[in-house]
Amino acid sequence: MPLDSLHSLYVDELKDLYSAENQLLKALPRMAKKASAPELKTAFTEHLEVTRKQVERLDQIFTALGASPKGKKCKAMEGLIAEGKEVLDEDGEPAVIDAALIACGQRVEHYEMAGYGCVRTFAKLLGYEDAASLLQETLNEEGEADKKLTALAETVINVKAESGKGDDGGNPPAAGAKTGVAKPRAKGKQSART
């Protein structure tokens, strides 16, 4: 479909989101299975149900438009899910894996919030008030999911990952050990490499 009007862009973006949500429906159960923290498993499982409702809302919008939701694959979501799959395939400390899963989940939420914000605005401009309302509802849910992941990260998951449960026992590196962080040079001294 050529992008020759705001309406055609609106439909194209809706198809992209429809594809994104359907890809996410397949990824969320794998993320929930990999998560070790019960709170994170619950967050992913609950968002799976929310995502199903979001797909239903998109179906309603396409029905009202007399258009098919099929015909486009969201390459951005495909890439985000591929990055998430790398985490799913990793072995490591469970709290650190959970922190990585949250990072992946938040990338997805931010992508979706951007997409839904755009189509909601397009719907308003085009006079599709019912669709704009449905899209705002989804946008609100995506924001809530992001906030929930942030709260889990800041109060539970990242705290566990940082507390030593994600490394060799939580001890700081021994004096002189290589840490990957350069020591600051004293003022007035030149590096041996210059």
pLDDT computed for residue 88 by the predictor = 86
| Domain architecture of the chain: domains with CATH | 6-163 (1.20.1260.10)
Start-to-end CA distance of the chain, whole Å, equals: 58
pLDDT computed for residue 3 by the predictor = 81
Residues in the chain with pLDDT < 70? 1, 164-194
Prediction pTM value: 0.81
pLDDT computed for residue 176 by the predictor = 44
pLDDT computed for residue 121 by the predictor = 98
pLDDT computed for residue 1 by the predictor = 59
